[in-house]
Amino acid sequence: MAKVEIKLPTDLEERLSRLAEKTDEIIPKVLEAGGEVVLSKVRSNLSSIVGQGTKEESRSTGELERSLGLSPAKQKRDGSGWDVKVGFAEPRSDGGNNAKIANILEYGKHGQAPKPFLKPAKSSSKSAAVSAMKAKFESEVNGL
C-alpha cells in the first residue's frame, strides 16, 4: 500500500504556532478595533439627538455624552468567549443614573417621544465594525 505524507511549510507551521501562543493578546485588540467603530457611531448619534426637538430649552450638561465609552475586552466569566461593551460610566455627578437617561432617550416616556440612537448605531455600524476587526486581525497575524 502506498503512503503519502504531507507537511505544512515550515514558515506556515511556525506562524500558526505563534498565532496560537498570541491568541489572548490578539482577540482583545481585534474586539476593541470593532468596538471603536460602534462607539464612534453611537457618540455621533447621541450628539445629534441630545437637546433636539424639545418643547422647552434643553437642560443638557453634556455629562451623558462624556460618560459614553468602551470597556476593555474581557473574557466572559463562563469562559465561552470574549466581549467588549459600549456603554455609560456611572454614577452621574448629581447621583443620577446615565443608563436611565439613555434608556429614556432611546425609548421615550410619557410626554417625551423616543429618540433612538443606540439601535440605529448598532445596525449601521455592523459591517464597518466587522471590516475593522478583520483588518486588525490581518495586521496582527502579519506581524507574527
pLDDT tens-digit series, residues 44-87: 999 998 877 667 777 778 899 999 999 999 988 998 889 999 99
Could you tell me if residue 88 is inside a domain? yes
Average per-residue pLDDT for the chain: 88
The larger pLDDT score, comparing residue 130 to residue 6, is at: 130
Could you tell me if residue 58 is inside a domain? no
- Cα dihedral across residues 60, 118, 78, 21: positive or negative: negative
pLDDT in tens, 11-51: 777 777 888 888 888 999 999 999 999 999 999 999 998 87
Distance of CA 135 to the CA centre of its chain: 15
pTM, full prediction: 0.83
Query: Considering its fold, how many domains does the chain have in total?
Result: 1
How would residue 8 be classed by pLDDT, with cut points 50, 70 and 90? Answer: low
Domain that holds residue 99: 23-48+63-142
Could you tell me if residue 56 is inside a domain? no
